[in-house]
């Protein structure tokens, strides 16, 4: 019975996600679903991305958190329109929540919509929101065993951003093992080593997101 209920929830969500996807296509908006653990650097990555491409692309941000509007306030400080969705305890955003958040935007005035999902390495991977790509960010401080422990997150992501590489000299992190296990889970996964603090590797990410936005997810 429990399996059937979970399946029903996922199927119902996929219907709404498909409707969202159709709307994004009609409006010509590219949507990235940014996922990762609390503290991995999701909001900082967003700020760096905004600083780089603001003025050349019209950007909107949806912030998903269990509580508070702190992340949305950080984004708004960059003169970017951000909508905060508080889940009240739910560990992820779903298609319906995002649909509600879209009411706060004029999609005709947006080229790129980035959805920062709730900090979690499990639930966000299971729920489509209508995005073109799922992007995962993980920090080296979380350890090199995460592809084995949380395989679904790696399986559904198009890009993996390995953040805080400036801390590698101080950590027991096996880069070769991590990359090997990640690609074993998802051979098509594009891995980018970055540091939001120093800026190392961010150009690769900027280039990737700009290319996708210009193609509107094609």
In terms of residue numbers, what domain contains 200? 2-215
- CATH no. for residue 114? 3.40.50.300
Of 124, 198, 128, 186, give the one whose Cα is nearest residue 160: 186
Span between the terminal Cα atoms of the chain, in Å: 39
Antiparallel, parallel or unpaired: β 112-116 and 59-65: parallel
3-class secondary structure per residue, 111-145: CEEEEECCCCCCHHHHCCCCCCEEEEEEEHHHCCC
Total structural domains within the chain: 1
Q: Which residues have a Cβ under 8 Å from the Cβ of 96 and sit 6 or more positions away? A: 13, 16
User: What does the DSSP 8-state code read for residue 189?
Assistant: P
Using only C-alpha atoms, the chain has a radius of gyration, in whole angstroms, of 17
Angstrom distance (rounded) from CA 151 to CA 122: 9
Report yes or no: 20 and 102 within 8 Å, Cβ to Cβ. yes
Angstrom distance (rounded) from CA 180 to CA 50: 31
Of 160, 141, 37, give the one whose Cα is nearest residue 91: 37
Per-residue tens of pLDDT for the chain, all 218 residues: 444 545 677 889 999 999 999 999 999 999 999 999 999 999 999 999 999 999 999 999 999 999 999 999 999 999 999 999 999 989 999 999 999 999 999 999 999 999 999 999 999 999 999 999 999 999 999 999 999 999 999 999 999 999 999 999 999 999 999 999 999 999 999 999 999 999 999 999 999 999 999 876 44
Report yes or no: 126 and 152 within 8 Å, Cβ to Cβ. yes
Helix (H, G, I), strand (E, B) or coil at 114: strand
Angstrom distance (rounded) from CA 212 to CA 26: 16
Identify the H or E element spanning 148. helix 146-149
pTM of the model: 0.94
Angstrom distance (rounded) from CA 201 to CA 207: 11
């Amino acid at each position: 019975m429990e399996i059937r209920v979970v399946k029903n929830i996922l199927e119902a969500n996929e219907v709404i996600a498909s409707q969202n996807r159709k709307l994004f296509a009609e409006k010509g908006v590219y949507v990235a679903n940014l996922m990762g653990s609390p503290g991995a650097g999701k909001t900082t990555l967003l700020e760096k991305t905004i600083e780089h491409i603001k003025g050349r692309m019209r950007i909107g941000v949806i912030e998903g958190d269990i509580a508070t509007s702190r992340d949305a306030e950080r984004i708004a400080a960059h003169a970017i329109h951000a909508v905060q969705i508080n889940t009240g305890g739910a560990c992820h955003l779903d298609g319906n929540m995002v649909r509600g958040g879209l009411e706060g935007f004029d999609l005709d005035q947006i080229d790129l919509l980035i959805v920062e999902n709730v900090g979690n390495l499990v639930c966000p991977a299971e729920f489509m929101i209508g995005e073109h790509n799922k992007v995962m960010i993980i920090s080296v401080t979380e350890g090199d065993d995460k592809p084995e422990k949380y395989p679904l997150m790696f399986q559904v992501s198009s890009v993996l951003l390995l953040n805080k590489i400036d801390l590698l000299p101080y950590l027991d992190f096996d880069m070769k093992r991590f990359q090997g296990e990640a690609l074993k889970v998802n051979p098509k996964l594009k891995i980018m080593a970055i540091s939001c603090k120093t800026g190392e590797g961010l150009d690769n990410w900027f280039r990737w997101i700009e290319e996708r936005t210009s193609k509107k997810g094609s």
